[in-house]
Structure 1
Amino acid sequence: MSKTNPGHFFEDFQLGQELVHATPRTVTEGDGALYTALYGSRFAVSSSAEFARALGFRGAPLDDFLVFHVVFGKTVPDISLNAVANLGYARGRFGVPVYAGDTIRTTSRVIGLKETSSGKTGVVYVNSVGTNQLGEVVCDYVRWVMVHKRDPQTPAPDPVVPDLPERVGPEDLYVPEDLRLAGYDLELAGSPHLWEDYAPGERIDHVDGMTLEEAEHMMATRLWQNTAKVHFNQFEQAGGRFGRRLVYGGHVISLARALSFNGLGNAFRVAAINAGAHANPSFAGDTVHAWSEVLEAAPVPGRDDVGALRLRTVATKDRPCATFPHKDTDGRFLPEVVLDLDYWVLMPRHAALG
C-alpha cells in the first residue's frame, strides 16, 4: 500500500463529502512582514498596531487576503493537486479578524460535481471554511476547480451544479462588534476619500504597475503551503501546455489589492468575495496593473459610521489600465486580463469622523 498521497482525481469526489485538511497553521508577525515584502500593501489597519487599536482592534489584524491564502493553501493537497485550473469563486465571507498567534485550520464540503464534455476532466465545487483556535469562522467561501480524471472511462456522476448567489448581501457582511471609527486618522491612512465620495459606475485607474518575479511567486506559493504542481514544479511543467510554472492566482489577487491602495486607501477591510475569475495565466516577468469599478455603495445595517463598497477590480499584464477595457465585443476576456474580482470592502463614512 502506497504511503504517499497522489491527490484526489475527479472520480474520488462524492457529493456531500467532508474533507478535513491537514496541517493547521499558526500565523505570526513574520507572516505579516513577508506579506508586505511580497506585495507592498500599505493599508494602515494591517500595517500599524497603534492605528488599529484606535479603531477597537486588539492590534494590527493580518491582511484579509493573507488569511484567504492560508485557508486556501490547506485545501490544495485534497482538492486541486490534480487540477487543470481554478475556475472561480463565490459567496466568500471574511469573519473575525486574525491576529499573530492565531491558529487557522480548514475543512471543505463537496457541494457540486459535473464532468466536462471531453470526459477527461470534471468540475468540483467545494465550500471551504477556515476557523481559528476558538472555532470562530475567519473565512468561508465557495470555489470550483477543473480536475483531471484518473481514468476517462470511469462513468460520470449525475451532474449537480450548486445555485450560488450573485453577491453576498450587505446585511451578511461581518463588521467587528468593537469597531469604532471615530478614531480613524485620514492623514495616517493616506487618503481623504470616504464612503460617500464614491459613486456606482465610477472607475479608478490605480496607476502603478508591479512586475512579477520568479523568486517572489515561488516564495508565496511555499509560504501558503500550496502544493499544486503547476506553480512550483518546473520539471513537470516544462513539457506542459505553457512550458513554465504558472503564477498562483492568489498572488495576483494580493498584488491587485495592494495596487488598489492608490485610489482606495481607506478600504480598510475586505468583507466578502462575490465572484472571481483568473481570466488568463500569469508568468514571471509580466507586469501587473489594476483598475477598479464601483458597482454598489451600500450602507451597513445598524451602522452609520461604516459603509460597504462593492468593487470590481480587474488586473492586466503588460497593459496599463488608462483605457479600462477588459473584454472584446463578444464578451470574452482580452488576453492581457489576468483577474476579474468582484468583492466588498468596508470604508469609514463622514459621520464617523464628525
Structure 2
Amino acid sequence: MSKTNPGNYFEDFSIGQEIRHATPRTITAGDVSLYTALYGSRFAVQSSDAFAQGIGYEQAPVDDLLVFHIVFGKSVPDISLNAVANLGYAGCRFLLPVFPGDSLTAISDVIGLKENSNGQTGVVYVRTHGVNQRDETVLDYVRWVMVRKKDPAAPTGHDEIPVLPAALEADGLGDAVPVLDKEGYDTDLSGSLFKWADYEIGERIDHVDGMTVEEAEHQMATRLFQNTAKVHFNHFTEGKGRFGRRLIYGGHVISLARALSFNGLGNAFHVAAINGGRHVAPLFAGDTVFAWSEILDKAELPARKDVGALRLRLIATKDHPCDSFPYKSDDGFDSSVVLDLDLWVLLPR
C-alpha cells in the first residue's frame, strides 16, 4: 500500500461520501497580517481591535474570506488535487465570527457527480463545513470542481447534479455580527460616509483601482491557505498543459476583487453569504485585476435596526478598467471578465 497521497480521481468519489480533511489550522495574528500584505484589504472592522470593540465585537474578527480560503484549503488534497479547474460556488454562509486563536477543521460531503461527455473528466459537487475548536460550524458552502478521471476509457455512469439555491434568503444573514453600537461607528475611521440607506438597487460602482498579480504573491497566498492543487504550483506539469503555465488560484481573484471593492463600499464590513459564483476565465501572473459592483437587492434584517444587507454582483476583470462596467454581450461574457460573484454584504444603518 502506497504511503503517499496521489489525490482522488473522479472515479474515487461517491454520492453521500463524507470526507474529514486533515491538518487543523489555528489562525494567528500573523496570518491576518500576511493576508493584509497580500491583498491590501482596508475594512476597519477587520483592521483594528479598537474599532471593532467600539462597535460591539470582542476584538477584530478575521477577514471572512481568509476563513473561507483556509477551510477551502483543507479540502484541496482530498477534493481537487487532480482538478483541471474549480468551477463555481453556491449557498455559502458565514455563520459565526472567527478570531485569532480559533482553530478550524473541515468536513466535506459529496452531493453530486457528473461525468463529462469527453470521458476525460467529471464534475464533483461537495458541501464543505468549516468547524471551530468548540465544534461550531462557522462556514458552509457548496463548490463544484472538474476532476480528471483515472481511466478515461471506462465510463462511470455518474449523472447527478444537485439542486442549488439561486440565492440565500436575507433571514439569518446577521447571525455572525453582534448588535452594533451605531454611536461607536466612526465613518471618518471607516473611510466612507455611505451606509446601507445610501445605496440603490441597480446602482453600479466602478471600484477604480487595479492590482497586478505577481507570481510570488499568488504562490505565497495559496501556500498560506495550505492549498496543494497542482495547477497552482507545479510548472513542470502545468507547463505541458493547455495553458503552458500555472493558474492563479480562483480565491486569489475573489480576495483581490473584495479588497478593491473598499473604494465605493467601504462600510460593507462583513461578507454574510456567497449566493453563487463562477470563474469565467483563467488569470495568470502579470495580469492586472480591476473590479466593479452592481446592487442587485437590498434587505432589512428581522429584528435588526443596526445593519442592513446589500446583494451585490461583484465582477473582476483582467487588464480592463471598469469605468464601462464590462460584463456580458450577446456572445457571452466580455473577454476581460474573470470572476462573476453574487454575494450578500452587511453595512451599518
TM over 0.5: yes
Residue type matched to 2:276 in 1? A
| Mapped pair 1:256 → 2:240 | no
| Mapped pair 1:162 → 2:162 | yes
> C-alpha separation between the residues in 2 aligned to 1:84 and 1:151?
15
Aligned to 2:132: 132
Aligned to 2:240: 239
Q: Does structure 2 retain, via aligned residues, the 8 Å contact 1:11–1:154?
A: no
Q: Where do residues 20-59 of structure 1 align in structure 2 (5 Å cutoff)?
A: 20-59=20-59
**Secondary structure of the structure 2 residue equivalent to 1:277:** strand
Residues 201-236 of structure 1 deviation map (CA, whole Å, 9 limit, x = unaligned): 000000000000011001001110000001011111
Aligned to 2:267: 266
Residue type matched to 1:40 in 2? G
Q: Where do residues 117-128 of structure 1 align in structure 2 (5 Å cutoff)?
A: 117-128=117-128
Residues 77-117 of structure 1 deviation map (CA, whole Å, 9 limit, x = unaligned): 00001111111100000011111100000000000011111
Q: Does structure 1 retain, via aligned residues, the 8 Å contact 2:97–2:177?
A: no
Residue type matched to 1:78 in 2? D
Aligned to 2:110: 110
Runs of at least 5 residues in structure 1 that lack an aligned partner in the other structure = 350-354
Residue type matched to 1:234 in 2? H
Q: CA deviation at 1:285?
A: 0.6
| Mapped pair 1:346 → 2:349 | no
**Secondary structure of the structure 2 residue equivalent to 1:309:** strand
What is the root-mean-square deviation of aligned Cα atoms in Å? 1.0
Query: So what's the TM-score if we normalise by structure 2?
Result: 0.98
- Tell me whether 38-47 or 180-189 shows the greater mean CA deviation: 180-189
Aligned to 1:352: none
> C-alpha separation between the residues in 2 aligned to 1:218 and 1:158?
34
> C-alpha separation between the residues in 2 aligned to 1:269 and 1:9?
36
**Secondary structure of the structure 2 residue equivalent to 1:221:** helix
* Residue-pair matches, total: 348
> C-alpha separation between the residues in 2 aligned to 1:59 and 1:337?
37
> C-alpha separation between the residues in 1 aligned to 2:152 and 2:177?
51
Aligned to 2:312: 311
Aligned to 2:84: 84
Residues 293-347 of structure 1 deviation map (CA, whole Å, 9 limit, x = unaligned): 00001001111111000000000000000001212213x1222111110000000
Aligned to 1:152: 152
Q: CA deviation at 1:158?
A: 3.9
Q: CA deviation at 1:174?
A: 3.9
Q: CA deviation at 1:177?
A: 6.1
Residues 157-185 of structure 1 deviation map (CA, whole Å, 9 limit, x = unaligned): 34111111110100132434633232211
Q: Does structure 1 retain, via aligned residues, the 8 Å contact 2:275–2:343?
A: yes
> C-alpha separation between the residues in 2 aligned to 1:25 and 1:224?
9
- Tell me whether 206-215 or 145-154 shows the greater mean CA deviation: 145-154
Q: CA deviation at 1:140?
A: 0.4
Residue type matched to 2:91 in 1? R
> C-alpha separation between the residues in 2 aligned to 1:128 and 1:90?
11
Q: Does structure 1 retain, via aligned residues, the 8 Å contact 2:326–2:336?
A: no
Q: Does structure 1 retain, via aligned residues, the 8 Å contact 2:174–2:301?
A: no
Q: Does structure 2 retain, via aligned residues, the 8 Å contact 1:84–1:146?
A: yes
**Secondary structure of the structure 2 residue equivalent to 1:271:** strand
Query: So what's the TM-score if we normalise by structure 1?
Result: 0.97
**Secondary structure of the structure 2 residue equivalent to 1:53:** helix
Change (3 A) 1:228 1:339: same
**Secondary structure of the structure 2 residue equivalent to 1:261:** coil
Q: Does structure 2 retain, via aligned residues, the 8 Å contact 1:94–1:174?
A: no
**Secondary structure of the structure 1 residue equivalent to 2:160:** coil
Aligned to 2:63: 63
Change (3 A) 1:297 1:219: same
| Mapped pair 1:289 → 2:315 | no
4+ residue runs of structure 1 moved beyond 2 angstroms?
Answer: 174-179
| Mapped pair 1:198 → 2:233 | no
Residue type matched to 2:311 in 1? R
Residues 23-56 of structure 1 deviation map (CA, whole Å, 9 limit, x = unaligned): 0000000000000000000000000000001121
Aligned to 1:142: 142
Residues 222-254 of structure 1 deviation map (CA, whole Å, 9 limit, x = unaligned): 110000001011111111111111110100100
